[in-house]
Amino acid sequence: MRKATTTIADVARRANVSTATAGRVLGNYGYASEAVRKKVQKAAHELGYRPNHLARSLIRGETRTIGVVIGDIQSPFYARIIRGISDVAQSSEIGLIITNSDEVVDLERKSVELLMDKKVDGMIVSPCDTINAAHLRAAHEAGVPMVLIDRRVRGLDVDSISLDNVGSARAGVADLLRAGHRRIALVAELAGTGGMTLDRIMTTSPPGPPDIHFHYPSWQRLLGYLLAHHDAGIAPQPEMICQVKSYSAKVAAEKAVKILRSDAPPTAIFTADGVMSAGVMAATKEVGARIPDDISLLCFDDMDWMEFMVPGIDAISQPRMQMGQMAARLLMEQISQPDAEPRVMEMVPRHIQRGSIRALLPREEGRGGAAL
């Protein structure tokens, strides 16, 4: 009867070599002739030998595992990022431990502690606390290699990869303004830590608060929205900004319905992420607004369903998979070169045009759409 666990000694006896020789072959270190190597590998295969990765990890001081902490595993945005991370990790024969924070600092802290307890070689984190993040600072000080994705943390000098949120939102809203729209609603989450408020960002723009890159992406996209208006010499209208304060499609829909049914509704809507876009689509259905006849729509982040709508929905497409791939590569480089200088990288999204933006006629410019 085969033993529950086959050891190197078992393989050595089967191959009629010393345990040290079998260890060199199976561990892929030191010298062994080709004939001996084949004998040992044949014996290992026949006995069903599996290497003890835990023991090897303890000896080498590595686990060949990386951890990922993201806000919402169900989110299409994070799903594509995880796929990118997974592709790179798999090609390098590195395992993944994926955890979910639900955008709650306590849950994120517990996830980071779990990954540290598991002795992961490094971690990729989308931080929900971008200002304090004591748990991330503690992990960094403990020597854990770390890459931040989508968001940065003020004063935490580690590799990060995010998007040019300000520039891409600025360009997208500029497209709406060039199409003649003057009442452009923004539907955005606009929550997070750090004390950012609508009053603060609107009174300091342009060029905007100097610490804008340490706040949630929705605040950066709001700044882009404001700067596009400034560039065009058009004063933004505070009543057009819908602050949802949570990643909730339901609440976003409620906000959008309210502004679409107002006495002076927008002629266009710019959404700050995929969740907000889903809420706005529900709102247009509820009020019976036709896209783009009654309301033009530009969404930040390209969701799969946008391509199949009639008409298709214009989107600022984030390179989500590439972000995940880049984050994984940065982490692996950091693991192998721990003394390298931290890198801050920004990727540029692209505007996909599908027909959801209608150019207004001259007589329509400056007027709100029909109240519904």
Tell me which residue of 287, 245, 244, 251 sits closest to 266, measured CA to CA.
Answer: 287
pLDDT at 1: 34
352, β-bridge pairs: 315
pLDDT at 52: 64
* φ, ψ (nearest 5 deg) of residue 122: 180, 175
Q: DSSP secondary-structure letter at 360?
A: P
Single pTM value for the model: 0.82
| Rounded Cα distance, 287 and 290, in Å | 9
Residues of the chain with pLDDT under 50: 1-3, 370-371
pLDDT at 194: 76
* φ, ψ (nearest 5 deg) of residue 271: -100, 145
Tell me which residue of 247, 270, 132 sits closest to 190, measured CA to CA.
Answer: 247
pLDDT at 236: 94
pLDDT at 108: 96
- What is the identity of the amino acid at 31? Y
Secondary structure string (H, E, C) spanning 246-299? CCCHHHHHHHHHHHHCCCCCCCEEEECCHHHHHHHHHHHHHHCCCCCCCCEEEE
Q: What is the pLDDT of residues 228-271, one digit of tens each?
A: 999 999 999 999 999 999 989 999 999 999 999 999 999 999 99
Structural domains in the chain, sorted by start: 8-51 (1.10.260.40), 64-163+320-348 (3.40.50.2300), 165-317+351-364 (3.40.50.2300)
Joined together, the tokens standing for residue 359 give 């150019």
Sign of dihedral through CA atoms 209, 214, 219, 225? positive
